[in-house]
Amino acid sequence: MKESSGNWHISLAHGSGGKLTHDLIKNHFSTEFKNPILSALADSAVLNLNGTRLAFTTDSHVIKPLFYPGGDIGKLAVYGTVNDLAVVGAKPLYISCAYVVEEGFDGESLDRITRSLAEAARTAGVIVVTGDTKVVEHGKGDGIFINTSGIGICNYTLPQDIEIGDKILINGTIGDHEIAIISARGELGLNLKLESDCAPLADLISHVLTTSGKIKFMRDPTRGGLATTLNEIVEERDFGVIIDEGTIPVREEVKGVCSLLGFDPLYLANEGKVVIIVGREDASKVLDVMRVHPLGMGSQIIGEIIESPEGRVCLKTEIGGTRIVDMPVGTQLPRIC
């Protein structure tokens, strides 16, 4: 429901990707922008232009710190956007790059970010074709924010109808990105060797799509993590999901930090992971193909689509119980992407 008082304010949790972000979009943005393309709430809009299916997406990057093990804001700004194109079955082609820089930001860091962004674009096979630069007064920004938009051509039609018994796959360990960011902030005195999983997924995804015609749905579990992505899949649908804790890949370092801080790995952000729903009959074939790809060596089948409870995500725990995994309300950590 829309806040009735007219007197409401944005909190950091509105940017978490969890329930408050969803409520904000649903109650304040979708109501004003209402159209069938936006209503799909997919990672990219898919536009039919004279018979060509064009994927179009945009993403702003506000990560803190700007440089972290395994990446930096420039690399993230490319991969975050190309992955949103890839998961709707598109081949990423062109991106834009808009900087909002704070007065006084050091030129060497700006050059380093730009070089990294350019290298990431080459790696991902996209070209930066347009951009913008704005500067705000000292103290009115936080170094640099980067917005990228991307377009690509869809060669595959997604999603197909999700059915009971379909399998859920992921291409490796969850939580690496968010824990690497926490560690890089240095506030907790953690001294981890962990790197962010920040990576472009289009090549892995194209192998998956040519292996099986039964790929029903894909999404990159970024902010809000695996739990949020799975909740988005089942939201207002007549099926649920069950995942098996014992099969979900989590690094020991990530588990350790989670138990220390009271975090749940299921809610941690990833920047190089994709959740794939595939027809049961093709699941092991797809898994085999994923596991020979450099970005899929840790792939696992982690669960399946179930009849009930409808609209809910259930977790079979390692100690033999079952619990509901809700959409997160707030945020474990702001500004992780």
Binding site for Mg ion (CB under 5 A): 43, 84, 220
To 10 degrees, the CA torsion angle through 212, 288, 152, 48?
20
d(CA 41, CA 288) in angstroms, rounded, equals: 30
Shortest distance (Å) from residue 225 CB to Mg ion: 12
Using CB atoms, what's the residue nearest to Mg ion? Answer: 43
Shortest distance (Å) from residue 59 CB to Mg ion: 8
Cβ closer to Mg ion: 73 or 314? 73
Shortest distance (Å) from residue 230 CB to Mg ion: 13
Cβ closer to Mg ion: 83 or 183? 83
Shortest distance (Å) from residue 270 CB to Mg ion: 10
CA nearest to 266, candidates 306, 326, 214? 326
Shortest distance (Å) from residue 275 CB to Mg ion: 10
Confirm if 182 and 64 have CB atoms less than 8 A apart.
no
Confirm if 112 and 78 have CB atoms less than 8 A apart.
no
Shortest distance (Å) from residue 331 CB to Mg ion: 17
Question: Distance of CA 303 to CAs 150, 209, 232, 240, 316, Å?
Answer: 31, 20, 15, 11, 9
Shortest distance (Å) from residue 223 CB to Mg ion: 9
Cβ closer to Mg ion: 58 or 160? 58
Cβ closer to Mg ion: 171 or 183? 171
d(CA 234, CA 227) in angstroms, rounded, equals: 11
Cβ closer to Mg ion: 105 or 219? 219
Shortest distance (Å) from residue 18 CB to Mg ion: 14
Cβ closer to Mg ion: 81 or 173? 81
Cβ closer to Mg ion: 74 or 80? 80
Cβ closer to Mg ion: 124 or 257? 124
Confirm if 74 and 116 have CB atoms less than 8 A apart.
yes
